[in-house]
Amino acid sequence: MKKHILLAEDDFDYASILKQYLEFSGFNVTWAKDGKEALKLFPDTQPDICVFDVMMPQMDGFTLAEKVVDTYPETPFIFLTAKSMKEDKIKGLRLGADDYIVKPFEVEELILRITNILKRVQKTAPQHIADKKFKIGQYLFDSENYLLTHEKVTHRITEKEAHLIQFLYANKSKLVKREDILKEIWGNDDFFSGRSMDVFISRLRKYFSEDPAISIPSVRGLGFEFNIKE
């Protein structure tokens, strides 16, 4: 079955070229002319991945991504932008973007990045954790529905966050090298993925901050540990 892409891009000529190349490469593509239209189309299209231009009328790509993440946290997305400012890249990462591509770029590069992300998404979670629900300190972790609960507060997390928790928990009390995390969860260990991982680790620290027995310290230049005091 062909994978479905939701493309939000306000430049008609640019969008037409991208759509044509993506369809030629074997994807189904739904094109939205702005963020507002993309959000409206999302429930019916149920895309496997989204490609959002940052600068759009009606609703910009960042705002669109925030709304998508709130309702469909498991859907991966890529930002396209003509802006190469560091602040914009960091903002995109904080929103949970799986990639961030600065225009101009080769369409083949976009296709490869989409393909790699979809492969990572399709990867199953670590097989040595058989239970779909299990306790992590004071938390209940539901790996199937991407829920992390502490007392009466439940966080709906993303699929990537869930896989990262599973991987760290499976290696708890051990040093987990940065490159091993990147290859397991992100599929590569380039600079962009490294910065994205740091953002995700920060999120996990916030999620688990209600239990003083849980810590995720950095081991400078090497990686991280996932510790639970008994």
- What domains lie within the chain, and their CATH numbers? 4-122 (3.40.50.2300), 133-228 (1.10.10.10)
Has residue 10 got a pLDDT over 50? yes
pTM for this structure? 0.58
Q: Can you give the pLDDT at residue 128?
A: 43
Burial class (CB in 10 A: 0-12, 13-18, 19+), 107: middle
Two structure tokens written together for 69:
């993440």
Q: Can you give the pLDDT at residue 148?
A: 95
Q: What percent of the chain has pLDDT over 90?
A: 54
